[in-house]
Chains A and B, each alone.
Chain A
């Protein structure tokens, strides 16, 4: 049982570290602010959650209140922060790089400003 807990804890922590590394790589590789936000907000939060789950296993459930509280806070704050920053960016006029589908929010704003 103890060996299983140790292996599961290590696996979770390694996986979380790998996720965080992927997030960092994404910030480096992706082209503009919004696509980088995808990488920075989500990979960081998911990596941290995996590491916290690893802590839960490694302590054999001793630190369950702290761990679950930290996971809940991460789950609530990470998407809020990503949404708030990217919405503020769009309102401030930072244009996303887009493919052939284009920017529907930009078109909607143009319709409001200029009904033609």
Chain B
């Protein structure tokens, strides 16, 4: 579905204006209501439209998370008297989808302050090295939040069987 959207946006941009990134973005945005409309009678388009919405929410949220976490780490690095308390925390992951877990590991490693160390497929636990924490629950809650939002993006209608 995303290929159809990309192709349509390219054709639209090339037809009405030039194939520059700005016009292309306009065409991409203009096609979104079409998918929303098609979703009323075509199920896959509806799911795709929901996915665009969730993605548009997720990307700025994650960028903001990365920046606020960067500020925390910057404070730690710049304060010479601060004693950090690193820890390796066991975080239960609810999903069993390997691709999703890989993505989750990458995203939490990209966030300053957390680093995915290992994953046990038998128990569904991820081991995360945290730069500075005093409670394991706070870390588990933060990673659960990333997973929840990621799931809403990947599977907007809940788990498909």
Contact = CB atoms under 8 A, between A and B. Distances in A.
A contacts with B: majority SS: helix
B73 A26 contact: yes
B26 to A, nearest CB: 14
B contacts with A: majority SS: mixed
A39 B77 contact: yes
B89 A101 contact: yes
Given A38-B131, A99-B85, A99-B87, A43 B105 contact: no
Contacts of B127: 104-105, 108
Nearest to A77: B106
Contacts of A32: 86
Interface in A69-87: 75-76, 78-80, 82-83, 86-87
A22 B112 CA distance: 12
Interface residues of A, number: 42
Residue of A35, A41, A76 most packed against chain B (CB within 10 A): A35
Interface of A: 19, 22, 25-26, 29-32, 34-35, 37-39, 41-43, 45-46, 61, 64, 75-76, 78-80, 82-83, 86-87, 90, 96-106, 108
